[in-house]
Amino acid sequence: MTSRRRVLRVHDGGHTTRPDTLTVEEPLEIRVAGKPLSVTMRTPGDDFDLAAGFLVGEGVVRAATDIHSIRYCAGATADGGNTYNVLDVVLAPGVAPPVASVERNFYTTSSCGLCGKASLDAVRTTVTWPVGGDPFTTGPATLAGLPDELRAAQRVFDRTGGLHAAGLFDADGKLLCLREDVGRHNAVDKVVGWAARDGKLPLAGTALMVSGRASFELVQKAAMAGIPLLAAVSAPSSLAVDLAAELGLTLVGFLRGTSMNVYTRPDRLGLQPS
């Protein structure tokens, strides 16, 4: 989703006024059975996938059958209108709601999905599908082509230059799903939610490519979805590397052209440390 604004363009000593296309950023409140759980700043679009992916990352949802329904809440405004910024997720009978240890100050920004996490213990959600034993392999040449594939599929970025992307690929480098959002973690949630709602979890034998850096939370989200390899065009954090090593997930950073840094499990790329 985009919006138009007028901007004063300064260039080569002169200036002109012209319209500019901007990425839309709006809050989304996620409720479970009517109880507020999370507020995140996101780019509207694929909101149901975003909600489902968020719940997968928190260990609440593991399959499409765990969700009974997702709907926008009518009457979200004082006059009874619908902002399309409030979602209510109804879990299937027998699926436990988020427990007290998971519930926290769930306000998140578009740049940081971890704001409000009480402790690292609360973040280290139990992984449903361990990725350490996944036999997935691919080649460095295939991995090197992912950034260009990701960029070519970013439709909104071409108009705004202001969106992150997450793309899911198979071992041959074929793009399976791409989602864009103003926040990196939201883009990943949208990919994972797409897979959850389509009955594709766990995502064994796949690679997740993200624009920007690789944070601890993105490693966690990949692992919670059963994805054995996470690649980013920028740097990972130290905690992201530690978690990837702990889980047996392959983590690649600075993936640009034919160069990359492989921080964990290089054997999946047919490589061994020298």
What are the tokens at 127? 């992984």
* 59 assigned to some structural domain: yes
Boundaries of domain holding 221: 131-268
| 74 or 176: which leads in pLDDT | 176
Which is the catalytic residue, given 73, 112, 115, 177? 112
* Same domain, residue pair 36 and 155: no
Domain boundary among 57, 80, 114: 114
Residue with tokens 């969106």: 163
Interval 17-52: pLDDT, tens: 888 777 788 999 999 999 999 899 999 999 999 999
* Same domain, residue pair 135 and 62: no
Mean pLDDT over 1-20 rounds to: 81
What are the tokens at 33? 């059975």
* 7 assigned to some structural domain: no
**What's the pTM value of the predicted model, to 2 decimals?**
0.87
Phi-psi region of 238 (alpha: psi -120 to 50; beta: other; left: phi over 0): alpha
* 8 assigned to some structural domain: no
Domain of residue 233, CATH code: 3.40.140.10
* 180 assigned to some structural domain: yes
Domain of residue 58, CATH code: 3.10.20.10
* Same domain, residue pair 58 and 152: no
Could you confirm whether 112 is annotated as catalytic? Answer: yes
* 102 assigned to some structural domain: yes
Per-residue confidence (pLDDT) for residue 116, from 0 to 100: 39
CA distance 33 to 16: 51
* Same domain, residue pair 151 and 77: no
**Confidence category of residue 117, pLDDT binned at 50, 70, 90:** very low
Per the structure, how many domains does the chain have?
Answer: 2
CA distance 267 to 252: 12
**Which is it for the CA torsion 65, 66, 69, 72, positive or negative?**
negative
E-state strands within the chain: 2-11, 14-23, 26-32, 35-42, 67-72, 86-91, 107-108, 164-169, 175-181, 207-210, 229-232, 250-256, 259-264
* Same domain, residue pair 156 and 245: yes
* 273 assigned to some structural domain: no
Interval 162-214: pLDDT, tens: 689 999 999 999 999 999 999 999 999 999 999 999 999 999 999 999 998 99
* 89 assigned to some structural domain: yes
Residue with tokens 């009518």: 74
Beta carbons within 8 Å of 265's beta carbon, 6+ residues apart: 244, 248, 249, 250, 251
Domain boundary among 114, 139, 168: 114
* 202 assigned to some structural domain: yes
Per-residue confidence (pLDDT) for residue 126, from 0 to 100: 75
Per-residue confidence (pLDDT) for residue 158, from 0 to 100: 52
CA distance 182 to 26: 10
CA distances from 254 to 143, 150, 175, 262 (A): 12, 15, 20, 9
Q: Which helix (H) or strand (E) holds 61?
A: none
Q: Which helix (H) or strand (E) holds 151?
A: helix 146-153
